[in-house]
Chain A
């Protein structure tokens, strides 16, 4: 199994920075995805890491360390609309499918 772990819930303040962690145990994978899912809506793609390091995309950045079995999603200048569930997922090329963690519910407060 891949045992993908994320914190269940997090709360942060508007304008602040928040880091959402994802740890996993797997023998191998092609890359790691982060998706955002607002309540009652479909997940939407945020980022994809193949190599170790930081991928930056506007207010969102994602980091991967394969040796540590660890990734995080960094959200800067938080806005109320960032309140959503954030899903970490491993892409295994052999099976050609994503395996999702249970997601982190982020609540942004004033």
Chain B
């Protein structure tokens, strides 16, 4: 069966531009997570969606970051006015309810 997919796999953008990162979770998984991983660092939690509940946005580093999940499936993470410190790998994960998470391959974002 298909796992979690993310697109694009790589994104290079200029400082100040907006970017959108997409995540397709495993079908039927109600929980979806976004993480950020900087070079040599652990995973930093960004945002969590669970069913129709209000998302947990406690990890978003600034108001330039936002995410939505349409129809309880696909999610888009948007970063407005990108900065060089936003350069990282952005990982999406999904799970059945909560607990064991299945990760996508990530999107490597480079802000020049």
The A interface, classified by DSSP as helix, strand, loop or mixed, is strand
B residues near A89, Cβ cutoff 8 Å: 43
Chain B interface residue number, banded: 20 to 34
Contact (Cβ within 8 A) A48 B99: yes
For B11-36 the 0/1 string (1 means CB < 8 A from A) is: 00000000000000000000101010
Q: List 28 A-B contacts (CB under 8 A).
A: A31-B99, A42-B4, A42-B91, A42-B106, A43-B43, A43-B103, A45-B101, A48-B99, A87-B43, A91-B98, A93-B98, A95-B48, A95-B58, A96-B31, A96-B48, A96-B98, A97-B48, A97-B56, A98-B33, A98-B101, A99-B45, A100-B35, A100-B42, A100-B43, A100-B44, A101-B42, A102-B41, A102-B42
User: What would 18 more interface pairs be, CB under 8 Å, given A42-B103, A91-B99, A96-B48?
Assistant: A30-B99, A31-B99, A42-B4, A42-B104, A43-B43, A44-B103, A45-B101, A48-B99, A48-B100, A87-B43, A89-B43, A96-B50, A98-B101, A100-B42, A100-B43, A100-B45, A102-B42, A103-B42
Instruction: Report, nearest first, the 8 A-B pairs whose CB atoms are least far apart.
Output: A42-B103, A102-B42, A100-B43, A96-B98, A100-B42, A43-B103, A97-B48, A42-B105
